Amino acid sequence: MDLTITVRGCDQCKRKDRPATRYTLTVEDGEKVTRDLCAEDAAPLEAAFGPLPKAEEMSPEDSFKQQLLTIMEDHERATKARRAQREQEWRDENPAPAKKAPAKKTAAKKTAAAKKAAPAKKTTAAKKAGTKSLTVAEIETMKAEGKL
């Protein structure tokens, strides 16, 4: 089933969260100009010219579509707010472990330690970080044993 929703937004402020009314204005040479305006953007025209004739009143179908759009936008905003709140609560309950800064050595100790130190073995980044690399077979075995 396909559902098509048409939303009339204000041509002036481009906002779609306010109902807009279609106005048709006729200039001196008889050319008609049609604009969709929200109440806020139509107010200066109505203040200058009095109540403007509306090209058409919002149909019940358009009114329903506008209400539906507003409900959907409200729901999306509420969902994002709830998600952000739950993420923050999770971060508060599970803080990241604090990293300890390495102790600083004095210049004399550094040079003495450098002279005494034998050439270090080349290690990979994984070994330096203390992580272990596993093969696919080892992973499958650990899964079977229930360790993963």
Asked whether residue 104 is domain-assigned, the answer is: no
Q: CB neighbours of 84 closer than 8 A, spacing ≥ 6?
A: none
What length does the chain have? Answer: 148
Asked whether residue 127 is domain-assigned, the answer is: no
Q: What is the pLDDT of residues 26-53, one digit of tens each?
A: 777 778 777 788 878 878 877 877 776 6
Q: Given pLDDT bands bounded at 50, 70 and 90, which one contains residue 76? A: very high
> Residue 5 has what pLDDT?
67
CA distance 144 to 95: 32
Domain count for the chain: 1
Domain of residue 30 covers 20-93
Asked whether residue 34 is domain-assigned, the answer is: yes
Asked whether residue 5 is domain-assigned, the answer is: no
Element (H, E) at 115: helix 107-116
State both tokens at 87.
């993420």
Asked whether residue 66 is domain-assigned, the answer is: yes
Q: Is the pLDDT of residue 72 over 80?
A: yes
Query: SS3 for 36?
Result: strand
CA distance 18 to 12: 12
Q: What is the pLDDT of residues 6-23, one digit of tens each?
A: 667 787 787 777 777 777
